[in-house]
Amino acid sequence: MTRPRLFAAGAAHIDRRGRLAGAYVPAASNPGTMSEEVGGGAFNALRNAVRHGVDGSILSLRGGDVAADAVARAIAEASVEDLSAVFLDRTTPSYTALIDAEGELIAGFADMSLYDIGFPKQVRRSKVRHAVAGADAVLCEANMPATAAEALVNHAGSLPVFAIGISPAKVGRLAGVLARLSCLFMNANEARTLAGLESGANVVEAARVLRGKGLARGVITSGGAPLTAFDPGGIFTIAPSPARFVADVTGAGDAIAGVTVAHLVRGLGFAKALRHGMAAARLTVEASQVVADYDDEAFEAALALVGHPAPMA
């Protein structure tokens, strides 16, 4: 059986995570450990999708440094076609996260100006248009500027286009293409920002607003709380499979996006595909790597513990 192909455009860069050994003390030196691996929203999601039965290609941007070599190797090792552009006079983007002893994010620092500079031109390359034309679906994310997202959606034509919100500061870049998206994956703060609501507003209200703006499907995560999602049939929640322990929350949202998209393009219904994504997120939270390594038995066990859709009134 032919595997569907997913074209992804967005971040593939160096992820650094500093984990505290004890309680976080602001404005002070905090002992802990630092780890480094290749990550990025689009690349993380694509690697998760490839694990679940799709082939993938990625357009990203990197510099002319040692970090770029690590990114290129990681893309090759993931069996993903690399369509990325290299800027020899630039440094490769990176993301540095400070994580507390329980695995929760304290703060993140993004050095990603290359994405803002390079994506608007790169998405217009002929080989990118050809790659999109040969795909079954497209995945993008808000690390690219609005003009690049709009150009990519135009290339996609009638293909389903999925997107990841990335952060409250960047999710607004997708506002102009909401009505063209098949599904947008967000956390609660990103959803509130995109909906124009105040901090702390109910995520169900955010879902209603975004539906009114023309977004066909949306997924809103709230940490370990039930996930809120919507489609043309209405708004529903799904309770997550509880993690046995939290090693690191980094990459959990990307796992939901990548695995859900993989099962959607393979023909599974939205809610069922989303349950698969939530099972992958549980295994990601329990892993020290940004993309978890698990076997079919572990995945099926996690999937069995994911709740079923509960419609919202």
Question: Which tens digits make up the pLDDT trace of 234-255?
Answer: 999 999 988 888 777 778 999 9
Read off the tokens for 305. 């513990």
Is 90 exceeded by the pLDDT of residue 202? yes
Contact 276, 313 (CB under 8 A): no
Chain segment 251-283, per-residue pLDDT in tens: 899 999 999 999 999 999 999 999 999 999 999
Question: Mean pLDDT over residues 23-47, rounded?
Answer: 95
In this prediction, residue 135 carries a pLDDT of 97
Question: Mean pLDDT over residues 145-168, rounded?
Answer: 97
Is 90 exceeded by the pLDDT of residue 85? yes
Chain segment 214-239, per-residue pLDDT in tens: 999 999 999 889 999 999 999 999 99
Q: Please spell the DSSP secondary structure of 215-234, one letter per residue.
A: -S-EEEE-TTSPEEEEETTE
State the amino acid at position 259 in one-letter form: V
Crossing angle of helices 270-285/296-304, nearest 10°? Answer: 110
In this prediction, residue 280 carries a pLDDT of 96
In this prediction, residue 247 carries a pLDDT of 75
Chain segment 93-128, per-residue pLDDT in tens: 999 989 898 878 899 888 999 999 999 999 999 999
Is 90 exceeded by the pLDDT of residue 30? yes
In this prediction, residue 1 carries a pLDDT of 63
In this prediction, residue 223 carries a pLDDT of 85
In this prediction, residue 313 carries a pLDDT of 66
The sheet with strand 183-187 has its strands ordered as 81-82, 55-59, 5-9, 137-141, 161-164, 183-187, 218-221, 227-231, 234-238, 310-311
For the chain, give the percent of residues with pLDDT over 70: 99
User: Rounded to whole angstroms, how far apart are CA atoms 220 and 189?
Assistant: 9
Beta bridge partners of 63: 87
CA–chain centroid gap for 108, Å, is: 16
